[in-house]
Structure formats: structure tokens, C-alpha cells
Structure 1
Amino acid sequence: MTWTVFLAVLLAALLHAGWNAVVKGSSDKLAGMAAMAVGHAVPGGLAVLLFPPVDPAAWPWIAGSVALHFGYLRFLLLAYRLGDLSEVYPLARGSAPLLVALFSTVVLGSALSGMQLAAVAVIAAGILSIGLARRGRANPSAVAAALVTGVFIAAYSLMDGVGARVSGSPVAFFGWAALLGAIPFGLYAERRRPGLVLRLPRLAPAAFFGGGWASFTAYAIVVWAFTQAPIALVTALRETSIVFALLIGALVLRERVDLARIASTFVTLVGVALLRFAR
């Protein structure tokens, strides 16, 4: 992985942490999630217009991406209803890199060195430990929902990684996925709460205007990176967004950071260093 790709994915991780800080601060998780998903439509449409068109062979992958992102959002909402953010989010994001690495090597035949696999494992261990170190008894239903969410994250990462390569235009590929993906989640949110979609700019303006653009930009960078480096390595590096989230929480939101989280962050950063210099 070159320095350009490495730093670009870290920027995407920072943007990802930023919009999550906006959304997680909302007491109305459905409105926040819907605002982010529907907010993707504008930057997605612009990407489709401004970047080269995708190869027609990419359309099945775009359809798969839309379906998997919808499943991810649905199960993430379920996990948030069943458990706390500090329990659910690290389990979901930390399990995904392991699943992507396993599928990439066993099914796709990606050639990852022992050091690269070790870097992915260390990053995943650091992220997972943030959730596992949480005090109090875990809710089994919340843990199950979080792990299913992790499966969806791994699945859409693989779908988007392969699809972006097939498309020949990775940003336009994600532009179509984001533009079309706003429809099913918007319909779902409208069914759950009639009239919600039209009220999103007022109910969740930060998530709708800022979060949608930040989230789109972050993942567009990641989809481009999928065409430049192994999908498993990009996925693992992207999930370091949780480290940025902890820093934002501590420095901006003045949240308490205990010794266990500091240790988990250190482990994650060791994994990042291994990944950068692994061959």
C-alpha cells in the first residue's frame, strides 16, 4: 500500500468518525440514520454526472451494494436499540476486517503476506477489545445484532471492492450505489414514521447536510482505494475510524477515556504501523 493510498484511507477514517459523532449525538437514531442515507443522494448524483460512466458489467455489483448497505443500516439500527453504542459499534466494525481477510484469501485467492494478515488481526483485536472491555454484562441480543452488522459490513466491502474494479470508475460506481441506496432506506424510514423523510432537513440538519456529504466522501475514498490496494487491507485501515472517534469524544466532547480504551487504541495503532510497513 502506497503512502498516497494509506493517507487517503486515514482521511476517510477521520471523516467517518466525524459524521458518526454527529449522528450518534442525536436522540432520534432513525432520523439521524435516514438523514445520512437520504443525504447521500445529492453527492451521489453529482458523482454520477462528473465522473466517467461505469462499465455496464458493474450494474449487478451496484445492485448488490444497494441491498447490502440497506441490510447494514437496518441491523445497525436494531443493534443500537438493543445495546449501547460503546458495546455495539466496536463489535460490528472490528469483526468486519477479519471476515474480509478470511474471504479474500480463501475465496478470492488474494495473496496476503503473513505480516499483512497479522496487521489486520492486530487492528481487529484492538477495535474489538474496545467493545469487549465495556463494563457490565453484555446483552446477547445486542452482541448478535452487532456481529450480523459486521457480516453486512464485510459483505458490502467485498461487493464494492470487486464492483469498483469491474466498473472502471470507482467514484461513479459508489455514486450510483449511494443515489439508488437512498430510495430503499428512505421508503423504510417513511414506513416506520410517515412524513419523516420530508422533515429530515429540519429534524436532523447536521446529519442531512453535513453527515451525508462527509459519509459519502469518506466511503468514496475507500471505494477508490479498493482499486489501488488489497480490499482486506483497506477495510482494516478504514476501521481505525474508531480511534478518531475516541479522540473526538475525549478532546471535543469531553468524554471520559479509561485505561482499557487507551490500551485498545494503542493495540490498534500498532496494527496500523504493521500494515503500513508490511510486505
Structure 2
Amino acid sequence: MLLLGVTLALGSAVAHAAWNTASKTIAPAGRPALWAVAIVESCLVVTVTAVVMIVRGHGITVTGELLLLSLGSTAMHALTMGLVQIAYQDFDVSQIYPLSRGLAPVVVALTGMVVLGQWLSWAQWGGVLLMAAAVGALLFETVRTRGSLQAKPLLWSACIAASIAGYTTYDGWVVVERGLDPIAYYAVGTVIQVVLWSVIVRGKYAEGLRQLRIHARTVAVLAVLIPASYVLSLYATLHAPVSLVAAVRSSSLIWVALSAALVLREPIGRARIAATVLAAAAVVAMVV
């Protein structure tokens, strides 16, 4: 079952890296673009959820607990998306993504022990530390290429990492401890997300629709990859400790480093290659 959890987390990591790369292209569009993504994503997720429930032979029972817990999760996810978009307006993906993804599992490993009572083995802790070393290698490359560590991208990365750790631990608790169905939980969350973003961008709906027309392909990609990434991670927490899932998902820094170089044409160096090797070793250490 642990292997299944890790496999799901790896799939989540690939999808996560892909949508982060795609989000860079619409970052300048601002919040109206996120509103457009939220609408398309919600329509897709609700449709898929309805099909799944028909196949299962039962629907979703919308309880007060489901609504309240989904509201908390949606607020944290929206905060993360907002932070990511603002950061990508001013900085490269390679400046923000590695540290934000690499710090998150270390925080989750600690909060997972406190909140969920999930303890890692020594080998799994070794994997978490290897992932941290991979992040360190990427920071070293930043110093080498830019002459110094810039405070602003570090601060943005730390804020995003804290937000990621928050919703990862929270959602793990909801699925594992409260026993909510991952698909139903996420589907309700996407509906709440539309309401939330509609309030945030009120008065700018026309601009949101314009961004939807301009970036239709990117919006569609995000609407598919964002829910795919996170639903996979939710199911992964049913088969592996949430801290382990978070660490394996951080292997997405491998894929985002490659996509940043190949798709966005951002520079890649030896330190980033070393970070990729360390991240791969971390994943192996966590599952053997």
C-alpha cells in the first residue's frame, strides 16, 4: 500500500510541475485569470464527480462539516494560488518553485507528527533531508549565477512553502482523520473557490472572460492539471503518511527544473542537475 501511495504522489508531482510551468504564462494577467481558471476547473470537476457518483451508485451528502472543512481548505488553496501568481510576475519559476516546494515537506513532516501522529522511519527522514539538500543545491546555483541570494524571492518562497504545508496537513487530516471522500471534498471546494474568487475580482468579470478567450488553452490545461494533481495527492494520503506524500510530491522540482529549461528557456546548470539527482535519491530512500 505504501508503494501505491508513493506512485500516486509521483503522479501528483508531475501534474503539479506541469501546472506551475503553465501558470507562469498567465501570471501577468492577474486575478481575473485565476477567476477564469476557477470557473472552468469547477465545471470540469463537478462534471467528473457526477459521473463518478453515478458509477458508484450514490451521490454526495452535503453536510455542514463538509462545507465548513471545504471552506477552510479553499481559503488556503486560494491564498497559495494568489501568492504563486504574484511571485511569478516578478521572478523566474526557477527562483520560486524549488525552495517553496522543498521547504514544505520538512514543515509537513513536523506538523504531521504533531497533528496526525504519523512518525517517519529513519530512512524516510533521510529522504526528507536529501530533498532538503536538493533545495540547497538549487539555492547554491542561485548564488553562483546571480552573485547573492535575493531577499524578495526567498521571502515569497517561504510564504508559499508555509501555505503549502498548511493546506497539505489540513487536507491530510480531513481525509485521514475525518474520513471525507477525496473527490466529494475537492468538488465542493471548487464550487466554494468560484464564489471566493468572484468576490475577490468583483467588477472585473469582463476582464476575466477576456483572459479566458486570450489564454483558453492555458486555462484549460490548468483546469485539468490542478485538480488532477491534488486529488492524486489526497488519495495518496490514504496509503502513506502525509509527510511522506508531501516529500515525494516535492520531486516535482525535478520536472519543473526540466520544463523551466525546455519550455520557458530558463538557464540550467550543474547545480540543478545535482539537485535532480538528490531529489531522485530522496524518493528512493522514502520507499525502500
Shift of 1:169: 1.1
* Number of the residue aligned with 2:69: 61
Q: What's the CA shift string for 1:43-62, capped at 9, x where partnerless?
A: 23124423452673443321
Q: Aligned runs of 1:1-279 on 2, under 5 Å?
A: 2-26=2-26, 28-30=28-30, 33-49=34-50, 50-51=52-53, 52-53=59-60, 56=63, 57-134=65-142, 135-136=145-146, 137-165=148-176, 166-190=178-202, 193=204, 195-251=206-262, 255-277=266-288
Mark the CA change 1:243 to 1:143 in structure 2 (over 3 Å): closer, same or farther: same
Task: Give the Cα–Cα distance (whole angstroms) in 1 for the partners of residues 44 and 240 of structure 2.
Answer: 25
Task: Give the Cα–Cα distance (whole angstroms) in 1 for the partners of residues 121 and 101 of structure 2.
Answer: 23
Identity across matched positions, percent: 25
Task: Give the Cα–Cα distance (whole angstroms) in 1 for the partners of residues 115 and 241 of structure 2.
Answer: 14
Q: What's the CA shift string for 1:153-203, capped at 9, x where partnerless?
A: 000111111112324311111111122113323432455x55222223212
Q: Which amino acid aligns with 1:228?
A: H
Query: Match of 1:53, SS?
Result: coil
Instruction: Tell me the TM-score normalized by structure 1.
Output: 0.88
Query: Match of 2:137, SS?
Result: helix
Q: Which moved more, 1:261-270 or 1:170-179?
A: 170-179
**Can you give the 5+ residue segments of structure 1 that lack an aligned partner in the other structure?**
none
Shift of 1:273: 0.7
Mark the CA change 1:177 to 1:194 in structure 2 (over 3 Å): closer, same or farther: closer
Shift of 1:211: 1.6
Task: Give the Cα–Cα distance (whole angstroms) in 2 for the partners of residues 40 and 112 of structure 1.
Answer: 34
Mark the CA change 1:210 to 1:76 in structure 2 (over 3 Å): closer, same or farther: closer
Task: Give the Cα–Cα distance (whole angstroms) in 2 for the partners of residues 58 and 167 of structure 1.
Answer: 11
Instruction: Tell me the TM-score normalized by structure 2.
Output: 0.85
Task: Give the Cα–Cα distance (whole angstroms) in 2 for the partners of residues 58 and 17 of structure 1.
Answer: 29
Task: Give the Cα–Cα distance (whole angstroms) in 2 for the partners of residues 125 and 55 of structure 1.
Answer: 43
- Equivalent residues, number: 276
